[in-house]
Structure 1
Amino acid sequence: MTASPPLSRYPVPAIADLPEDIRARILEVQDKAGFVPNVFLTLAHRPDEFRAFFAYHDALMLKEEGGLSKGEREMIVVATSGANQCLYCVVAHGAILRIYEKKPTLADQVAVNYRKADITPRQRAMLDFALKVCEASAEVGDADFAALAKHGFSHEDAWDIAAITAFFGLSNRMANTISMRPNEEFYLMGRVPKAK
């Protein structure tokens, strides 16, 4: 039997050794999810950056206002993380996407080729914009905003799409650089309906 690969190329601190606020956040996530996603453990290597990362994450992904659903926010993460070849974010956020949308195959479709995924034309336009921000942000122009507006997205929604894409571009690059491994639990989440 081969040993499991390490969670990161960098030291992963013990939860007991973390600053109180970070330890409390991790234990809260563990209580809710039943496990600790590896992103919390690996980024705790640098506590100040951990705090900044999750503050911005929460501002983008947990806000209630705006024209994007939580599932659509996760679609952006999965599609752009697929383009950036980030194993951790595709697997972890793919699990969240499957749960939010209650569609067990959607995350795989979006990660590989969102243009062939079972999504609405509105969501396709959203992901067209996100992928342009991801791969060619210098080329974003008025026509891209007009294409979004045709599908009911506001200027503020465009900001959200771009900000989520940009933030997870950072996340993807750090996850790839430190070789962050997805938790095994993520692979099965949302694939089979829960027994009632």
Structure 2
Amino acid sequence: MTTGAISRFPVPRIEDLPEDIRERILAAREKSGFVPNVFLALAHRPDEFRAFFAYHDALMDKPGNLTKAEREMIVVATSNANQCQYCVVAHGAILRIRAKDPLIADQVAINYRKADITPRQKAMLDFAMKVSAEAHAVGDQDIELLKSHGFTEEDAWDIAAISAFFGMSNRMANVTSTRPNAEFYTLGR
């Protein structure tokens, strides 16, 4: 991989992409002012790009008991545990914007256990970490603990699905060596 490259794999030119993917990338650029590198890295395989973003949107954009900021907290904490620089930086920026609190976002990015978050959010992230590191050990007591903090079984599913999905995303970002865009470092500060 060359220094400064977006990915260690080939990155297609936007104009060479299928129309639906090109439109999705251009919409992201319109919204944020730049094209997040993950879009370009994943566009290397169009069918997987479509599947990835369909599941991403199903998890991250749905209404429910978890706020958009809490969903991003799960992504940032999971990404930290998986040592995914791209996702910690990119989703840390999104968390700063959604939480309207750069301090919390940076604390969660470093060590959520010491962050100034609510007991409910700590329970949520503890569960997400268990899913990320030892899903085989998740049991009824974990779901009951979440319920004691006001979460439902559907919320438990959402927390687990976000943690699991971003575990996969973190692994792909690490394998592809996808670099965070410089713009992410200053967003929401």
Q: Residues 131-177 of structure 1, C-alpha deviation per residue, up to 9 Å, x if partnerless?
A: 00001111000110011000100000000000000000000000000
Separation (CA, whole Å) in 1 of partners of 2:68 and 2:102: 16
SS, match of residue 116 in structure 2: coil
Alignment correspondent of 1:51: 50
Q: CA deviation at 1:105?
A: 1.7
Alignment correspondent of 1:143: 141
TM-score (norm: length of structure 2): 0.98
Alignment correspondent of 1:194: none
SS, match of residue 118 in structure 1: coil
Aligned partner (choices 156, 163, 166) of residue 164 of structure 2: 166
RMSD: 0.9
Q: Residues 68-101 of structure 1, C-alpha deviation per residue, up to 9 Å, x if partnerless?
A: 0000000000001000000000000000000001
State the one-letter code of the partner of 1:5.
Answer: G
Separation (CA, whole Å) in 2 of partners of 1:119 and 1:96: 17
TM-score (norm: length of structure 1): 0.94
State the one-letter code of the partner of 2:77.
Answer: A
Aligned partner (choices 153, 177, 180) of residue 179 of structure 1: 177
Separation (CA, whole Å) in 2 of partners of 1:176 and 1:4: 15
Aligned 8 A contact 2:99 2:105 in 1? no
Alignment correspondent of 2:36: 37
Paired residue total: 188
Give the unaligned 5+ runs of structure 2.
Answer: none
Q: Which runs of structure 1 show a deviation greater than 4 angstroms over 4 or more consecutive aligned residues?
A: none
Give the unaligned 5+ runs of structure 1.
Answer: 192-196
1:122 to 2:120 alignment = yes
Aligned 8 A contact 2:7 2:41 in 1? yes
State the one-letter code of the partner of 2:66.
Answer: L
Separation (CA, whole Å) in 2 of partners of 1:159 and 1:100: 22
